[in-house]
Amino acid sequence: MRILFLGDVVGRDARDAVNAQVKDLRTKYKLDAIIVNCENAAHGFGVTAQICDDFYKAGVDCLTTGNHIWDQREIIAYIEKDARLLRPMNYPEGTPGRGHYIIQTPRGEKILVANLMARLFMDAMDDPFAAANKLCNAHRLGKDVNAIFLDFHGEASSEKMAMGFYLDGRASFVVGTHTHVPSADARILPKGTGYMTDAGMCGCYDSVIGMDPQLAVNRFVRKVPGEKLFPVSGPVTLSGVMIEVDGKTGLCTKVDAFRSGGKLSQSIPQAV
């Protein structure tokens, strides 16, 4: 199985670029699933029902999020109706929405997509490691599902790495999101789980994590509240990771960082 994951989509230019390329990417790489983190898609803050619908129409199979999931108030009611839009599953019991979804491929394979949020330098959440353990015990890799893909949304690289090793051999792939900066450590861990500390963002990198750089600088220099941050317009880099998974064992067999367009160095896997 081949899966493409694209990191945090920041603003209109980024989501337009993703939607314009998804179908061609699926054909070029014979992808079985395309997963996108959409938590910054609505002008940098949250996501709306219409934006979700646009992603699905373009060919995205599942959407993950993180700490900005509730920034657009309309999503609180909408998320209950949309099984493909995930919020971190370690939110407290009773929080609207769900934290995992099973993609059924045309060949009948099951790809479990899960979303968790880290705790270091983040909002207080239920234990993500306990939640991951419970999920993997209920959905055994290579038996109940053909693949398990986890978007672990968090600030600290150490916590993300710990999750990768915690699930090594029990998940197909663990990828970090939230920092908007792609890491250079995409690899397969000793027991067969693929890993990358952060997928980076889909957006313009002539920015501060996708936002207007001068406004961001002002916040650090002046230390007073100022104008609300907003995404910059400019050349978009699609940043993420492409993986291959053994459909029988559920373990990762290949990992390629994916960066296309914009200002960053390109990392474009060979077409299938």
Structure tokens at 30: 């014979």
Q: Decide if 32 contacts 252 (C-beta within 8 A).
A: no
Task: State the Cα–Cα distance between residues 264 and 200, nearest whole angstrom.
Answer: 11
Residue 106 identity: P
Distance of CA 242 to the CA centre of its chain: 12
Which residue in the list 68, 100, 178, 180 is annotated as catalytic?
Answer: 68
Q: Which residue shows structure tokens 């995930």?
A: 86
Q: Annotated catalytic, 68? A: yes
Distance of CA 30 to the CA centre of its chain: 20
Task: State the Cα–Cα distance between residues 113 and 148, nearest whole angstrom.
Answer: 6
CA-to-CA dists, residue 29 to 52, 187, 214, angstroms: 23, 19, 38
Instruction: State the catalytic residues.
Output: 68
